[in-house]
């Protein structure tokens, strides 16, 4: 099944307009990015789903950036957009939860100031959440990378699209009809099933369990913290359609602006890798929350393993196919024929 739109949801369930258009809260964590902020808010104003609220939380920026952020919100002059000024710099995770406390929507989206929503981001992400098959704490869509020279490509999550491709010898054939897909990853499947912060939409009932109760070592990594925690609670839905423009520039904290291939390591050579610390921090927060004890018991047993997940499964499958092409006399499973698909840890909805 391809992406479910809201009209289908309305036809499939006996709900009225009020329940078909829930309030969505958007939290922008801002630190010294005032030159990007106005464009981010304007992309929210252009959304086809209009029942939203947005809070900009300034994480104690330098005075000029702080003043400019206040000015931008004042000039936009929309009662749905407010600003909160923090009295100390605590990093994006704790800053996000300050903004969360100021909002009330059932669905919550973090937005980086330097990224932009496409007009249907809220509508289509919400529709994915409201599909008739499975409920998860998180939906993530794909992105289009944009540099100062313009868009350079999309499809960041290549491993998600691999099952839709046919094998032709050692090559993969990209299908002509590139329909959006909606993939479900169960909570038991480890790995990175996401793109980045601005492509995420969460259920408030899930992230309420995740507020950290200590000072974190890292200032960024909001996407990793929230996505990993929500995935542990109930799995992930990945929407295979680009709905966000991700801006690449010299001030990005993690991603490089020099992107040339889906397979490359897109992180900056000097960027800190906090995955292991984040894994332990978010589990610590979940175990300290009011989750049921049986859920805590399950989460407490999850170990950090950087070598597991769908991307690595696809790489192993590729190596296996290559080996059988080079040594066709092997007595292992027969070589996959054109059109065959690997066993990946996701189910398409």
Q: Name the one residue in this structure whose structure tokens are 């978010």.
A: 282
For each of the domains in the chain, give its residue range(s) and CATH number, in order of start.
Answer: 6-348 (3.90.550.10)
Q: Report, as an integer, the average pLDDT of 73-82.
A: 97
- Contact call for residues 61 and 83 (beta carbons, < 8 A): no
The 3-state secondary structure of 239-283, one letter per residue: EEEEEEEEECCCCCCCECCCCCCCCCCCECCCCCCCHHHHHHHHH
H-only helix segments in 130-207: 158-161, 204-207
- Looking at residue 127, its pLDDT comes to 94
Cβ neighbours, 10 Å, residue 222: 24
pLDDT tier at 79, thresholds 50, 70, 90: very high
- Looking at residue 265, its pLDDT comes to 75
Q: Residue 310: pLDDT above 50?
A: no
Each residue's pLDDT tens digit, 182-233: 999 999 988 888 888 999 999 999 999 999 999 999 888 899 999 999 999 9
- Contact call for residues 243 and 142 (beta carbons, < 8 A): yes
Q: Residue 119: pLDDT above 80?
A: yes
Each residue's pLDDT tens digit, 127-164: 999 999 999 999 999 999 988 888 888 766 677 777 77
Going by DSSP bridges, is the β-strand pair 107-111/24-30 parallel, antiparallel, or unpaired? Answer: parallel
Q: Which range has the worst mean pLDDT, 78-92, 134-148, 165-179, 180-194?
A: 165-179
213 beta partners:
none
Angle at 96 between CA 131 and CA 50, to 5 degrees: 45
Q: What is the pTM of this model?
A: 0.82
Q: Report, as an integer, the average pLDDT of 321-329.
A: 52
Q: Report, as an integer, the average pLDDT of 253-273.
A: 74
């Amino acid at each position: 099944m391809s992406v479910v739109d809201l009209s289908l949801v309305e036809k499939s369930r006996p709900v009225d307009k009020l329940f078909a258009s829930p309030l969505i809260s958007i939290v922008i964590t801002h630190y010294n990015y005032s030159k990007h902020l106005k464009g981010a808010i304007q992309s929210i104003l252009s959304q086809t789903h209009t029942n939203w609220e947005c809070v900009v939380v300034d994480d104690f920026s330098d005075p000029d950036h702080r003043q400019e952020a206040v000015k931008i919100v004042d000039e936009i002059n929309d009662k749905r957009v407010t600003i909160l000024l923090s009295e100390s710099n605590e990093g994006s995770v704790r800053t996000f939860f300050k903004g969360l406390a100021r909002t009330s929507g059932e669905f919550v989206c973090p937005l980086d100031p330097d990224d932009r929503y496409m007009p249907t981001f809220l509508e289509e992400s919400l529709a994915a959440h409201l599909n008739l098959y499975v409920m998860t704490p998180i939906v993530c869509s794909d992105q289009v990378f944009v540099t100062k020279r313009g868009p350079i490509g999309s499809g960041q999550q290549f491993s998600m699209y691999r099952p839709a491709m046919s094998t032709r010898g050692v090559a993969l054939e990209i299908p002509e009809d590139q329909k959006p897909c909606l993939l479900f990853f169960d909570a038991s499947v480890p790995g990175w099933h996401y793109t980045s912060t601005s492509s995420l939409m969460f259920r408030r009932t899930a992230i309420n369990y995740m507020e950290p109760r200590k000072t974190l070592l890292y200032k960024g990594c909001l996407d990793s913290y929230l996505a990993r925690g929500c995935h542990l609670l109930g799995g992930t839905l990945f929407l295979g359609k680009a709905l966000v423009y991700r801006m690449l520039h010299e001030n990005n904290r993690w991603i490089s602006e020099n992107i040339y291939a889906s397979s490359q390591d897109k992180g900056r050579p000097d960027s800190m890798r906090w995955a292991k610390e984040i894994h332990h921090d978010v589990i610590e927060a979940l175990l300290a929350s009011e989750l049921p004890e049986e859920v805590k018991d399950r989460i407490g047993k999850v170990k950090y393993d950087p070598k597991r997940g769908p991307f690595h499964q696809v790489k192993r499958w590729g190596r296996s196919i290559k080996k059988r092409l080079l040594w066709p006399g092997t007595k292992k499973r027969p070589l996959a024929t054109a059109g065959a698909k690997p066993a990946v840890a996701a189910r398409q909805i």
